[in-house]
Chains A and B, each alone.
Chain A
Amino acid sequence: MFMNFEFNVEGGNFTKAGTASSQVKKILKQLNVDSKVIKRVVVALYEAEVNIVAHAWSGKALINISTDRIDLKLTDEGPGIPDIELAMQQGYSTASSAVREMGFGAGMGLSNIKNNCDELEITSEVGIGTVVQMAIYLNTK
Chain B
Amino acid sequence: METGTFHHALKIREDLCVGCSHCMNVCPTEALRVRNGKAILLAERCVDCGKCFRECPSSAIIIDHDDFNYIFDYNYRIALLPAIFTGQFHEEISFRQIHSVLLDIGFTHVYEVENGAEVLADAIQDYADAHPEKKPLISSFCPAIVRLIQVKFPSLVDNIMLLKPPLDISAHFLKKELLEQGIPENEIGIFYVTPCAAKIAAIKEPVGEISSPITGAINMDFLFNKVYHRVAKKSNETCTLPVTLPLSDMARNWSLTNGEAQHIKGRCLAIDEITNVIDFLEKLENDEITDIDFLELRACDGSCAGGVLTPGNRFLTVERLRNHNSTTKDIAVQSNHPDAFRPITECSAYLRELMGIDSISPRSILKLDEDMAEAMKKMDKVNQILKVLPMIDCSVCGSPGCHSLAIDIVNGEADLKQCIFVQRALEQKGELTSDEGNRILREIWGFEKTNKYRKLK
Contact = CB atoms under 8 A, between A and B. Distances in A.
Interface of A: 1-3, 18, 21-22, 25-27, 29-33, 35-36, 38-39, 42-43, 46, 65, 67, 138, 141
B155 interface: yes
Judged by DSSP, the binding face of A is helix
A42 B288 CA distance: 10
Nearest to A3: B376
Of all A-B residue pairs in the complex, the 5 with the closest CB atoms, nearest first, are A35-B155, A32-B367, A29-B366, A31-B375, A43-B287
A30 B367 CA distance: 4
B379 A32 contact: no
Interface residues of B, number: 23
B288 A46 contact: yes
Nearest to B380: A3
Contacts of B225: none
Contacts of A141: 372
A32 B285 contact: no
Given A29-B366, A30-B367, A22 B375 contact: no
13 contacts: A22-B286, A25-B285, A27-B379, A30-B366, A30-B368, A30-B375, A31-B367, A31-B372, A32-B364, A32-B375, A33-B372, A35-B362, A67-B372
A67 B379 CA distance: 13
Contact of B155 (A22, A36, A46): A36
A136 to B, nearest CB: 14
Contact of A32 (B283, B286, B369, B380): B369
A21 B285 CA distance: 10
B381 to A, nearest CB: 12
A39 B155 contact: yes
B322 interface: no
B370 A42 contact: no
A26 to B, nearest CB: 8
Contact of B376 (A18, A29, A35, A67): A67
B104 interface: no
B373 interface: yes
Nearest to B152: A29
B286 A25 contact: yes
A31 B364 contact: no
A26 B287 CA distance: 14
Given A1-B377, A27-B379, A65-B376, A32 B287 contact: no
Nearest to A50: B288
